Amino acid sequence: MKAFIVEKNDNKEFSAGLQDIEIPKIEENEVLIKATYSSLNYKDALSSIGNPGVTRVFPHITGIDVAGTIEESKSDLFKTGDKVLVTGYDLGMNTNGGHSEYVKVPESWVVKIPSGLSDKEIMTYGTAGLTAALSVNELLNNGIKAGEVLVTGATGGVGSLAVAILSKLGFNVTAISGKEEKIDFLKSLGAKEVILRKEFDIENKRPMGSEKYDAVIDTVGGNILAEALKIIKYDGVATCCGLTSSFELNTNVFPFILRGVRLIGIDSVECKLDKKAAAWEKLANEFNVDVLDDLTIEINLEEIQEAYNNLLSGKSVGRYLVKL
């Protein structure tokens, strides 16, 4: 089978590219998926350059997402022919990932694709869509049913899908992006207003600002999240799922103790399987958006390296879908 493989040489240098390797053999409680689609995420790009916080086992196949059909099963939960997907857990990290024609995984990682979504659609969402859905769910579950929502990192995979989902649900969405040329793109997804990152990412010493947003979906961390927390309305909610700006958060307690703001972390990797399945059901139904084609660049295995370069340099917009 063909697979996109990252290798580490004796000088601790990394190289990556397409190779032909043997199809993996499954053991008890495992399944073999004939992959049809995968996607690209920032974590995949980090894995491709040997980032030790993501991957330490080499040679390694990247790809934290995959969808396809069960080719072989040694599981009581799945049978040959089942349409399934896998996102998160150790897939594509230190376990060979979805950027290959066949993928071996334990049954405990597998979810059946909900009716109403194709392999292609569900991988257009991928981990980014799952993370966006989990984030929106936290707003709804914490009483944010309408109003003004700020989305940071809005041209990225999670951010762009969050903008589209929130807009469909009737929220007034303000998007933050560093890409001035993508303002029209964000408005086409449903953003009512777009703020450029350089206008927002300005550290100030005020402990609080005027109340402006009912909720924030943050994908970048750092000073942008710190400043966003200061302007959330009373009893508001912020979710946090990323660190492309910074993993540090220099803030104060005033938004939490004077306005009752809640900061909720979003993890789509080790999230319980039933919670993932519920989020996928939402994406197949009330969270399903009709802008997937506008968000997606479809590539093949041979084009992954160029896409990784774009992700790492901050040039990518929307989602990369990998056809296998």
The amino acid sitting at 206 is R
Length of the chain: 324
pLDDT in tens, 41-97: 889 999 999 999 899 999 999 999 999 999 999 999 999 999 999 999 999 999 999
Task: Indicate if the pLDDT at residue 170 is higher than 90.
Answer: yes
* pLDDT for position 273: 87
pLDDT in tens, 223-235: 999 999 999 999 9
How far, in Å, CA of 300 to CA of 323, rounded?
5
172 versus 157: the higher-pLDDT residue is 172
Residue with tokens 């004077």: 258
What are the domain boundaries of the chain? 2-113+291-323, 128-265
Task: Indicate if the pLDDT at residue 266 is higher than 80.
Answer: yes
What is the value of pTM for the model shown? 0.86
Q: What residues does 8 pair with on adjacent strands? A: 14
Mean pLDDT of the chain: 94
Q: For residue 258, report the phi and psi dihedrals to the nearest 5 degrees.
A: -100, -25
Report the percent of the chain where pLDDT is more than 90. Answer: 82
* pLDDT for position 196: 95
Pick the CATH number of 2-113+291-323 from 3.90.180.10, 3.30.420.10, 1.10.760.10, 3.30.9.10: 3.90.180.10
Report the percent of the chain where pLDDT is more than 70. Answer: 100
Quick one: tokens of 262? 């809640």
What's the rounded mean pLDDT across residues 235-264? 95
Q: Which of 67, 207, 217 is nearest to 137 (CA)?
A: 217
The amino acid sitting at 217 is I
128-265 folds as Rossmann fold (3.40.50)
Q: Are 82 and 111 in contact (CB under 8 A)?
A: no
What is the 3-state secondary structure of 144-199? CCCCEEEECCCCCHHHHHHHHHHHHCCCEEEEEECCHHHHHHHHHHCCCEEEEHHH
* pLDDT for position 221: 95
Residue with tokens 């790009």: 45
How far, in Å, CA of 100 to CA of 87, rounded?
15
